[in-house]
Amino acid sequence: MLYYMFNKPQGCVTARSDTVHRTVMDYFPAKLAEKLHPVGRLDKDTCGLLILTDDGDLDFKIMQPDRHISKTYFFYAIGTMTEEKRQLLENGIAMAGFTAKEAVFQLHREYRIGELESFMPAERRERYMKNPDGAAFSATITICEGKKHQVKRMLEAVGCRIFYLRRDKIGELPLDSSLGQGEYRQLTENEVILLKQRL
């Protein structure tokens, strides 16, 4: 079986092929790409840890909601984080269509919006920079679900807007910090064991 860790860059889609956008498969040699498929999805503008494999059973198990496989994300967001908002996020916040399960939230640092300009998507930078002295912050959040745009929607539900989102961990497997965006490597035997824990 083949197991690869990929540091997905922003701007490419998690798909085997796409007629408009560059895909995660385009970063792999063609002979290898035809054997692999991505496990789960990351949005076009989300970067970070993505697993690619030829192990269909692994893909099925990781993506099953009732398995409660955790995913940890780092992000920058516009807005302020209060104790009340943190408790809402951690206790399971209601949103349109569903209520998120409990999450683990950790505030890292508060910023002014202007300090984070380099992390903003080019198409929204001008709009965000109209208020460079506005409040922003960095944080990590760990969830056990995978609803579409879930982390962004959870933060929007407490009045904050994420503009940079990176997945750092799946279950007990962390993203290799030495991998640059767009780079990949095979998982070690121990990393495969970490990935399969609780499956």
Joined tokens for residue 10: 């922003």
User: Looking at the structure, do residues 109 and 147 belong to the same domain, yes or no?
Assistant: yes
User: Looking at the structure, do residues 90 and 151 belong to the same domain, yes or no?
Assistant: yes
Query: How confident is the model over 157-198, as pLDDT tens digits?
Result: 999 999 999 999 998 999 999 999 999 999 999 999 888 876
User: Looking at the structure, do residues 88 and 148 belong to the same domain, yes or no?
Assistant: yes
User: Looking at the structure, do residues 105 and 126 belong to the same domain, yes or no?
Assistant: yes
pLDDT at res. 197: 77
pLDDT band at 65 (very low <50, low <70, confident <90, very high): low
User: Looking at the structure, do residues 61 and 74 belong to the same domain, yes or no?
Assistant: no
User: Looking at the structure, do residues 142 and 191 belong to the same domain, yes or no?
Assistant: no
> From CA 62, how far away is CA 146, in angstroms rounded?
10
Q: Which of 26, 43, 45, 54 is catalytic?
A: 43
CATH number at residue 120: 3.30.70.1560
Q: Does the pLDDT of residue 58 top 90, yes or no? A: no
137: containing domain: 70-169
User: Looking at the structure, do residues 38 and 102 belong to the same domain, yes or no?
Assistant: no
Q: How many domains, in total, are found in the chain?
A: 2
Rounded to 10 degrees, the C-alpha dihedral 62/176/18/128 comes to 110
pLDDT at res. 15: 87
Within its chain, how far is the Cα of 151 from the centroid?
A: 8
User: Looking at the structure, do residues 77 and 153 belong to the same domain, yes or no?
Assistant: yes
Active site residue 43: yes
User: Looking at the structure, do residues 102 and 145 belong to the same domain, yes or no?
Assistant: yes
pTM: 0.93
CATH number at residue 182: 3.30.70.580
User: Looking at the structure, do residues 15 and 103 belong to the same domain, yes or no?
Assistant: no
Say whether 56 sits in a helix, a strand or coil. helix
pLDDT at res. 62: 77
User: Looking at the structure, do residues 88 and 147 belong to the same domain, yes or no?
Assistant: yes
User: Looking at the structure, do residues 54 and 141 belong to the same domain, yes or no?
Assistant: no
